[in-house]
């Protein structure tokens, strides 16, 4: 029995890093948005036992450290089933790229394995397993536009925006997320930035202000105007997004470390992106565009400049689920 699924990527639209919590994780607020770029996973079950991971990409770990392995183990345990599970990952998304590839692969494994076993776990078991394996997994149990809080694992589905043209630039740099958080901590201890000194009260107030910014964005001038065509709506949404001041804190520590990533963001903006940002801790930098024609032109310009860039669109929740099973 074999089940194949598309394992879609996400981008972060804004990310605020808060204080370190007693468990060592950072409190954060972010918007996750699923996009059309994806890996393809095949989960096969047979008689026997053991979990085997195969991939076309040498960078994908094939042992029990793989997020897919860890999820498969938990699903077998929760369903009290015994089987030999083979997970084949056709990798197209960058590894350590800030697009949530490993997290998405893990959730794809959960959904495909459930189908192969003909058993569906209750939503609370799915969420628990996802959150145990990593902070960025639960968002993929929702898809579309998702508000993330806690350490990123507390997720809330938001009303979707229409599919927005998106250019995803993937420079050949791997950024370690724990190291990026550590650099943020050093900045918070010593540093002052554009937005003033990063004192504990300042950090708490920016993190609390995030939901206000999100509200300001999503209740901005772009909403409630049904007569607008899709292009105008995208344009207004992106203008409101910039106005709401929704930004990614990781840029403050990752850009100084990898100045070429700041250049990629600038190149996207020069090529017409209405909104450009690092995704997660990077190294992916994306741009959102008012039309797919502009996005295509921008991707060509970046590629000509030696930067790997792909055109896609943001993926609303309904499409995310409709396109998941191959
Ligand atoms: O949960 P996940 O496995 O994605 O986290 C990877 C690492 O990133 C954690 O071990 C931690 O060092 C860091 N992290 C953090 N605060 C978060 C999420 C992740 O410090 N909210």
- Percent over 90 (pLDDT), the chain: 85
- For residue 208, what pLDDT band results from cuts at 50, 70 and 90? confident
Q: Where does the pLDDT of residue 220 fall: very low under 50, low under 70, confident under 90, or very high at 90 and above? A: confident
Tell me which H or E stretch contains 239: helix 230-243
Here the tokens at position 5 are 């699924």
pLDDT of residue 183: 95
**Order of strands, edge to edge, in the sheet holding 285-288?**
275-278, 285-288, 165-169, 309-313
Q: Summarize the confidence of residues 144-173 as an average pLDDT.
A: 96
Specify the pLDDT at position 233: 86
Name the nearest CA neighbour of 143 among 246, 218, 223, 35: 35
pLDDT at 230: 74
Q: Give the span between the Cα atoms of 316 and 33, in whole angstroms.
A: 8
> How many A from CA of 257 to the centre of ligand 1?
19
Q: Give, using CA atoms, the residue closest to atom 12 of ligand 1.
A: 178
CA of 7 to the centre of ligand 1 (A): 21
Marked catalytic residue, from 39, 91, 136, 265: 136
Helix H or strand E segment including 184: helix 177-190
pLDDT (tens digit per residue) in 262-302: 999 999 999 999 999 999 999 999 999 999 999 999 999 99
Do residues 170 and 310 touch, judged by C-beta distance below 8 A? yes
Pocket of ligand 1 (CB under 6 A): 25-26, 28, 134-136, 151-152, 177-178, 181
- Return mean pLDDT, the chain: 93
Among 197, 175, 192, 308, CA closest to 254? 175
Delineate the domains of the chain, giving CATH numbers in brackets.
Answer: 2-160 (3.30.230.10), 165-318 (3.30.70.890)
**Whole-angstrom distance, CA of residue 244 vs CA of residue 42:** 41
Q: How confident is the model at residue 22 (pLDDT cuts 50, 70, 90)?
A: very high
| Lowest-confidence pick of 38-42, 85-89, 230-234, 258-262 | 230-234
Give pLDDT, residue 12: 98
Going by pLDDT thresholds of 50, 70 and 90, the confidence category of residue 219 is: confident
Q: Does the annotation mark 136 as catalytic?
A: yes
Q: Is the pLDDT of residue 194 over 60?
A: no
Structure tokens at 272: 């017409």
196 has a pLDDT exceeding 80? no
pLDDT over 60 at 202, yes or no: yes
Distance 134 CA to ligand 1 centre (A): 8
Compute, in angstroms, the gap from residue 170 CA to the centroid of ligand 1. Answer: 22
- Ligand 1: nearest atom to the Cα of 27: 21
Please tell me the predicted confidence (pLDDT) of residue 198: 67
Average pLDDT over residues 18-29: 94
Angle between helices 101-117 and 123-133 (to 10 degrees): 140
Are 35 and 140 a contacting pair, CB within 8 Å?
no
Task: Yes or no: say if 281 and 180 are a contact pair by the CB < 8 Å rule.
Answer: yes
> What's the start-to-end Cα distance of the chain, in Å?
14
Tell which atom from ligand 1 comes closest to the C-alpha of 177.
Answer: 8
Q: What is the pLDDT of residue 188?
A: 86
CB count within 10 Å of CB 183 equals 19
Average pLDDT (17-28) is 94
pLDDT number for residue 229: 78
Ligand 1 atom with the smallest distance to the CA of 135 is: 1
Cα 149 from Cα 27, distance rounded (Å): 7
Q: What is the pLDDT of residues 77-128, one digit of tens each?
A: 999 999 999 999 999 998 889 999 999 999 999 999 999 999 999 999 999 9
**CA separation (Å) from 198 to 20, 204, 301?**
13, 10, 37
Q: What is the reported pTM?
A: 0.94
Share of the chain above pLDDT 70, in %: 93
Cα maximum dimension of the chain: 60
Mean pLDDT, rounded, for 200-222: 82
Q: How far apart are CA 151 and CA 207, in angstroms?
A: 12
The pLDDT score that the predictor gives to residue 192 is 56
């Amino acid at each position: 029995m074999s089940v194949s699924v598309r394992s879609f990527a996400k981008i972060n639209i804004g990310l605020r890093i808060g204080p370190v919590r007693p468990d060592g994780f950072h409190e954060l607020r972010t918007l996750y948005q699923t996009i059309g770029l994806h890996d393809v996973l095949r989960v096969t079950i047979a008689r026997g036992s053991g979990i085997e991971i195969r991939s076309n990409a040498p960078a994908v770990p094939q042992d029990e450290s793989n997020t897919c392995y860890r999820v498969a183990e938990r699903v077998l345990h929760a369903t009290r089933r015994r089987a030999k599970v083979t997970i084949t990952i056709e990798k197209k998304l960058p590894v350590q790229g800030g697009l949530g590839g490993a997290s998405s692969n893990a959730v794809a494994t959960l959904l495909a394995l459930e189908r192969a076993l003909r058993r569906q776990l209750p939503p609370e078991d799915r969420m628990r397993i996802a959150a145990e394996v990593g902070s960025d997994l639960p968002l993929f149990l929702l898809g579309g536009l998702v508000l993330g809080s806690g350490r990123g694992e507390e997720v809330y589905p938001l009303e979707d925006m229409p599919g927005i043209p998106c250019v995803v630039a993937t420079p050949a740099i791997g950024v370690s997320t724990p190291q990026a958080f550590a650099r943020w901590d050093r900045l918070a201890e010593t540093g002052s930035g554009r937005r003033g000194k990063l004192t504990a009260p300042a950090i708490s107030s920016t993190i609390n202000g995030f939901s206000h910014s999100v509200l300001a964005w999503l209740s901005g001038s772009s909403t409630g105007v049904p007569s607008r065509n899709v292009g105008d709506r995208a344009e207004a949404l992106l203008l409101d997004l910039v106005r709401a001041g929704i930004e990614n804190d990781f840029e403050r520590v990752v850009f100084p470390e990898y100045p070429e990533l700041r250049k990629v963001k600038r190149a996207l903006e020069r090529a017409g992106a209405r909104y450009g940002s690092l995704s997660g801790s990077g190294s992916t930098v994306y741009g959102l565009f008012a039309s797919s024609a502009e996005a295509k032109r921008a991707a060509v310009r970046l590629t000509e400049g030696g930067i790997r860039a792909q055109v896609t669109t943001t993926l609303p929740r309904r499409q995310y689920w409709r396109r998941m099973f191959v």
